Structure 1
């Protein structure tokens, strides 16, 4: 990957993080063609796309201050006018940006991360000890995992 820009001078204008993502997308399409997906269903043969047929690319790392004053700063492209669909929620960080070309223009899709959402670890996998059950029955309205029955109050 390091010598790619030396071998192909036309790629020098492309940001360094975009190229590995493109290679990974091609690898995934060939893997799906050869091995299939999780259920074993294989995709059709990948078609080689010409220079004008590649419709999207992804920046795998974005700076947190990339959006300001209705502009988004894209590496190697610069500041681009942005019509923002909605404000970024407080506490979220921008992880990736995907630029997609459609018939009516270009679109930016931002992937966000919320640090307040706990990550799933081995300790947080449901077990009999840390699971709470609620059963809605015919005799009682509901029965909790502690055996407490709650009746329906009739008016």
Structure 2
């Protein structure tokens, strides 16, 4: 191992991984290019779009802003880990489908992951909590109404 690489251990979607990675490798690149989990999208590469959102130890993070070495010892959850192993959609994914809360789908994995985190913290999020969640995500297709409708239904309002 050179000074430009580090050994890390992460648990990704419940599966432990021990890897030697370049010290400057982004978490998004580890997930997409090394582990083949391409559901984590990289839109802007600078954080504001939210497409690359994943959960790290239960909190939402922009994987394009986090180095893989910073994730050492963490539990990482990606969109691939959301649905049941039998292919059935998670209730968040089902709400997005029912409310037509996606079009191109590029931003959807990041919004779904942020929603997973929100619902764990607040099972019945208020309109303000839902609006705050969406402040960190850019969608070019839906105009946000259908996304909010799906979030409202998940909060028990729809």
| Category of TM-score, reference length = shorter chain | under 0.3
Ranked by relative contact order (alpha carbons within 8 Å, sequence separation 6 or more), the top structure is 2
Tell me the TM-score normalised to structure 2 length. 0.25
Larger Rg: 1
More strand by proportion, 1 or 2? 1
